[in-house]
C-alpha cells in the first residue's frame, strides 16, 4: 500500500509523504506557478520601464511638447479615433445586418468577401492609394483625359494626405473587426425575435434599431475597441498621409531627436488613451448579454430580396470590399508584375523574406506553446493565479507597438548586462549584446504583443473539450499535467495551429515595433516597404507589399472556408 501511494505521488508530480507528516510539496504546481510569475513579469516589465524612463526626463522637453507637439498630436489622434470609430461601426454593423437579415443572389460570397480587407495592413492601403490618387497617377490622369483637361493643374482631386483621407482609409480596412463579432451575434439570435417584430408591423429598419441593434451592442463595442487599438497602433498610414498622431510623435521624438525620456512621456499619454478605450469597451458590455434558441435554419429569418433590390444590396455590400481590398490589391499586383518584368526581382527581397519568416516564425512558435499553457492555466494553477494570468496576457495586445518597443529598452538592457556578467564569470568573455539590438528583442516584442491572440484561440479550443475526458484521465491516475499532455493537447491542436497562423501573420504585418527594435542593417518586408514609401519610390516597394498581402490572405481564406462550411451545415434540413 505504501509503495502504491509513493508511485501515485510520483505520477502526480509531488514528493512522497514522510512518516508522520500529512503535508505534500506540489513540485509541478510550484514549477507552473514560477513560470506564470515569470511570464507576468515579462508582460508587465515594459509598462514599468516606461514609467521609469518618463520619470528620468529633465523636464526641458515638456514646454516644447506642450506648446508645439502634444496639442496637435492629441487633437489629431482624438479626431482620428472618433472618425474611425464611427466609420467602422457603421460599415461593420451595416454589413453584418445586410448578410444576416436579407437573402439575395451572391449573399454567401459577399458574406465571406467582407473579410478580405483584414488581409491588407493599413500602411499598405495608404501606400497603394497614395500612388493611385497622385496628381499624375493613373486615376487623375484618366479623369483628365476623359474630361478633356491637358495639364495636371487644371484638374486636381482633393488631397488624400489629410485627416479625413486617413479616417476613410483606416475605416474601410478595419471595419471587419466589428463585422465579425456582430455578424456572429446576429446569426446566434433567435429567429423568432426578428419575426415577432415583423409580425407586430415593424418595418425592417425599426426591427434593426429596436431589436437587433440593442442586442448587438456588446459585440459592436468589442469590435470597435479592437479597431481603435489598431488605428492607434498605426504609424505607417498616418505618417504617409500627413497625420501627426501620438504614435508618429513617439517615433519622431525617439528616432529624430534621440530623446528616449520624451518619447516615453508621450507613450504614457498613449497608454492612458488605450486604457480609456478598454474601460469604455468593458463598460459598454457590462451587465449586457443575450440568449438565443435559434434551432431552425437561419435563412427562415432572412427577408428575401429580388430584382433591383437584390442588385442594390449586393452592390452596396461590395463597396467596402472594393475600397478596402480589391482596388489596392489589384494595383499592387499590376505594379509588382510591371516592376518584375521591367527590372526583375529586387536584389534584397529574398534576404528580407528570410528575415521576416525567421523572426515571425520564432515568435509564433513561442506564442503557440506559451498560449496553450496560459489557456490551460486555470486547470494547472491554484486559486485565481491561472485566470489572472489569462487576463494579464491580454494586456500585451492592448499595447501599441511603439509603446511596447520603448518599454522594452530598459529591461532588455538590464538583461544584457546581467547575462553578460554571468557568462563572463563562467567563460571569461561574453557577447556585447545578447537581447537589445539583436533579433531576440524583436521576437520578445512580437511575443508580448501577440500572445493574447494565441491564448484566445487555445482557450476556445480547450473550452470545446468535454469535461468528462480530463476527468476520466484523472480517474485513471494521471495528474493534471499528464492529462493536459495526453488528452487535451491532441484535441486542442487544431485551435493551437489556428492561433499560430494568426500570430505569424500579425508578426509579418507589424510595423511600429519592427521599425524601432530591428537589428542594425536588417530589413523585413514591412520595413522595406516603409522605407520605399518614405523615399517616394512607390514602385520599388510593390513586391514587398504584395508578398505581405499574400501572407495576410492565408488566415482570411481559412476563415472564409470555415464560414462556408458552417453556413452549409446550418442550411441542411
Specify the CATH number for the domain of residue 470.
Answer: 1.10.3720.10
The domain boundary, picked from 307, 334, 361, lies at 334
pLDDT for 458 equals: 80
* Residue 267 pLDDT exceeds 70: yes
43 Cα distance to chain centroid = 17
530 or 468: which carries more pLDDT confidence? 530
| Residue 164: predicted pLDDT | 92
| 369 and 225 belong to one structural domain | no
128 and 252 both lie in a single domain: yes
pLDDT of residue 84: 94
| 425: its cell numbers | 564569470
pLDDT over 90 at 55, yes or no: no
Q: Residue 507 in contact with residue 454, Cβ under 8 Å?
A: no
Would you tell me how many other CB atoms lie within 10 Å of the CB of residue 452? 24
**pLDDT at position 436, please?**
64
Number of domains in the chain: 2
CA dihedral 205, 210, 216, 221 (to 10 degrees): 100
Instruction: List, in sequence order, every beta strand (DSSP E) within 286-430.
Output: 303-304
In this predicted structure, the answer to whether residue 71 has a pLDDT above a threshold of 80 is yes
Q: Is there a contact between 189 and 96 (Cβ–Cβ < 8 Å)? A: no
Least confident window among 96-110, 155-169, 452-466: 452-466
Q: Is the pLDDT of residue 224 over 50?
A: yes
pLDDT at 21 over 50: no
Shared-domain flag, residues 118 and 89: yes
* pLDDT per position as a tens digit, 431-440: 666 666 678 8
Q: Do 266 and 229 share a structural domain?
A: yes
Backbone phi and psi for residue 121, each to the nearest 5 degrees, phi listed first: -60, 150
> Does residue 25 sit within a domain?
no
- Domain stop point among 280, 311, 334: 334
Q: With a cut of 80, say whether residue 353 has pLDDT above it.
A: yes
What is the pLDDT at residue 18?
43
C-alpha dist (Å) from residue 551 to 230, 478, 507: 19, 41, 11
Higher-confidence residue of 566 and 484: namely 484
DSSP secondary structure letter of residue 399: S
d(CA 101, CA 124): 33
Which tens digit of pLDDT belongs to each residue from 73-106? Answer: 888 888 999 999 999 999 999 999 898 888 889 8
Asked, for residue 405, whether it belongs to a domain, the answer is yes
Residue 34 lies in a domain: no
Whole-number pLDDT of residue 66:
73
One domain for residues 196 and 69: yes
Residues 414 and 460 in one domain: yes
Same domain, 142 and 246: yes
Measure the CA–CA gap between 3 and 18, rounded to whole angstroms: 13
* CA 175/CA 403 separation, integer angstroms: 24
Q: What is the pLDDT of residue 552?
A: 83
Q: Are residues 324 and 364 in the same domain?
A: no
State how far the Cα of 422 lies from the Cα of 417, in Å rounded to an integer. 9
Rounded to whole angstroms, what are the CA distances from 17 to 21, 417, 480?
A: 6, 42, 19
**Among 334, 365, 399, residue at a domain's last position:** 334
CA distances from 370 to 41, 88, 198, 380 (A): 14, 32, 49, 13
Q: Is the pLDDT of residue 140 over 60?
A: yes
Closest CA to 263 of 126, 371, 407, 147: 407
- Is 99 domain-assigned? yes
Tell me what percent of the residues of the chain surpass a pLDDT of 70.
Answer: 75
Q: What is the average pLDDT across 181-204? A: 66
In terms of domains, do 293 and 356 share one?
A: no
Strand partners, 304: 103
> Which tens digits make up the pLDDT trace of 412-432?
888 878 887 887 888 777 666
Beta bridge partner(s), residue 14:
26
Termini Cα distance of the chain: 58
What is the residue range of 125's domain?
A: 56-334
**Is 329 found in the same domain as 356?**
no
Asked whether residue 239 falls in the same domain as residue 378, the answer is no
Does 549 fall in a domain? Answer: no
> Do 179 and 226 belong together in one domain?
yes
Q: pLDDT band for position 150 (50/70/90)?
A: confident
Dist CA 19 CA 197 (whole Å): 72
> Cell numbers at residue 275, please?
486604457
Comparing 499 with 189, the larger pLDDT belongs to 499
Q: Give a yes or no: residue 110 inside a domain.
A: yes
What number of H helices and E strands is found in the chain? 28, 2
CA 446 to each of CA 9, 47, 68, 517: distance values in angstroms, whole numbers, following the listed order = 39, 15, 33, 10
Q: How confident is the model at residue 5 (pLDDT cuts 50, 70, 90)?
A: very low
Mean pLDDT (the chain) is 77
Note the pLDDT of residue 13.
44
The pLDDT of 133-155, averaged and rounded, is 79
301-313 burial, b at 16+ Cβ within 10 Å, e below that, comes to: bbeebeeeebeeb
pLDDT in tens, 282-291: 676 565 554 4
User: Once rounded to an integer, what is the mean pLDDT over residues 370-378?
Assistant: 79
Closest CA to 482 of 2, 16, 28: 28
Of residues 25 and 536, the one with the higher pLDDT is 536
pLDDT at 11: 42
- Residues 256-265 have pLDDT tens digits of 666 777 777 7
Residue pointed to by grid coordinates 437561419: 298
Amino acid at each position: 500500500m505504501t509503495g502504491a501511494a509513493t508511485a501515485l505521488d510520483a505520477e502526480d508530480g509531488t514528493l512522497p509523504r514522510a512518516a508522520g507528516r500529512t503535508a505534500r510539496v506540489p513540485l509541478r504546481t510550484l514549477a507552473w506557478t514560477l513560470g506564470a510569475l515569470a511570464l507576468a513579469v515579462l508582460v508587465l516589465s515594459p509598462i514599468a520601464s516606461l514609467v521609469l524612463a518618463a520619470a528620468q526626463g529633465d523636464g526641458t522637453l515638456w514646454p516644447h511638447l506642450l506648446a508645439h507637439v502634444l496639442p496637435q498630436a492629441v487633437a489629431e489622434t482624438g479626431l482620428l479615433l472618433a472618425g474611425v470609430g464611427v466609420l467602422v461601426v457603421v460599415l461593420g454593423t451595416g454589413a453584418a445586418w445586410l448578410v444576416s437579415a436579407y437573402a439575395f443572389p451572391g449573399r454567401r460570397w459577399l458574406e465571406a468577401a467582407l473579410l478580405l480587407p483584414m488581409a491588407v495592413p493599413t500602411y499598405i492601403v495608404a501606400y497603394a492609394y497614395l500612388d493611385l490618387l497622385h496628381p499624375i497617377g493613373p486615376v487623375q490622369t484618366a479623369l483628365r483625359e476623359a474630361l478633356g483637361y491637358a495639364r495636371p493643374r487644371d484638374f486636381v482631386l482633393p488631397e488624400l494626405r489629410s485627416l479625413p483621407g486617413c479616417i476613410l482609409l483606416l475605416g474601410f480596412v478595419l471595419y471587419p473587426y466589428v463585422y465579425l463579432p456582430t455578424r456572429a451575434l446576429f446569426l446566434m439570435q433567435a429567429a423568432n425575435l426578428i419575426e415577432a417584430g415583423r409580425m407586430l408591423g415593424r418595418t425592417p429598419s425599426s426591427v434593426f434599431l429596436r431589436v437587433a441593434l440593442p442586442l448587438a451592442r456588446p459585440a459592436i463595442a468589442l469590435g470597435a475597441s479592437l479597431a481603435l487599438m489598431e488605428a492607434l497602433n498605426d504609424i505607417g498610414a498616418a505618417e504617409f498621409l500627413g497625420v501627426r498622431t501620438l504614435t508618429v510623435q513617439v517615433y519622431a521624438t525617439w528616432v529624430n531627436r534621440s530623446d528616449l525620456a520624451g518619447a516615453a512621456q508621450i507613450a504614457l499619454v498613449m497608454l492612458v488613451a488605450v486604457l480609456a478605450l478598454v474601460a469604455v469597451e468593458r463598460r459598454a458590455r457590462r451587465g449586457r448579454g443575450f440568449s438565443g434558441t435559434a434551432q431552425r435554419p437561419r435563412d427562415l429569418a432572412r427577408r428575401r430580396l429580388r430584382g433591383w433590390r437584390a442588385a442594390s444590396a449586393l452592390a452596396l455590400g461590395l463597396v467596402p470590399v472594393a475600397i478596402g481590398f480589391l482596388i489596392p490589391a489589384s494595383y499592387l499586383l499590376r505594379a509588382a508584375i510591371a516592376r518584375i518584368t521591367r527590372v526583375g526581382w529586387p536584389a534584397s527581397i529574398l534576404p528580407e523574406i528570410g528575415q521576416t519568416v525567421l523572426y515571425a516564425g520564432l515568435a509564433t512558435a513561442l506564442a503557440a506553446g506559451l498560449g496553450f499553457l496560459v489557456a490551460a492555466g486555470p486547470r494547472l494553477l491554484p486559486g485565481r493565479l491561472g485566470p489572472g494570468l489569462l487576463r494579464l496576457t491580454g494586456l500585451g495586445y492592448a499595447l501599441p507597438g511603439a509603446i511596447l518597443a520603448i518599454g522594452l529598452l530598459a529591461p532588455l538592457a538590464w538583461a544584457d548586462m546581467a547575462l553578460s556578467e554571468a557568462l563572463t564569470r563562467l567563460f571569461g568573455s561574453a557577447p556585447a549584446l545578447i537581447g537589445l539590438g539583436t533579433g531576440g528583442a524583436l521576437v520578445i516584442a512580437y511575443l508580448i504583443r501577440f500572445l493574447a491572440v494565441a491564448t484566445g484561440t487555445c482557450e476556445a479550443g480547450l473550452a470545446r473539450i468535454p469535461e468528462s475526458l480530463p476527468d476520466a484521465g484523472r480517474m485513471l491516475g494521471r495528474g493534471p499535467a499528464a492529462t493536459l499532455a495526453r488528452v487535451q493537447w491532441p484535441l486542442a491542436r487544431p485551435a493551437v495551429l489556428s492561433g499560430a497562423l494568426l500570430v505569424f501573420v500579425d508578426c509579418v504585418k507589424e510595423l511600429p515595433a519592427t521599425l524601432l527594435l530591428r537589428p542594425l542593417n536588417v530589413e523585413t518586408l514591412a520595413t522595406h516597404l516603409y522605407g520605399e514609401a518614405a523615399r517616394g519610390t512607390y514602385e520599388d516597394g510593390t513586391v514587398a507589399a504584395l508578398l505581405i498581402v499574400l501572407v495576410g490572405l492565408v488566415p482570411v481564406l481559412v476563415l472564409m472556408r470555415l464560414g462556408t462550411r458552417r453556413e452549409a451545415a446550418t442550411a441542411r434540413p
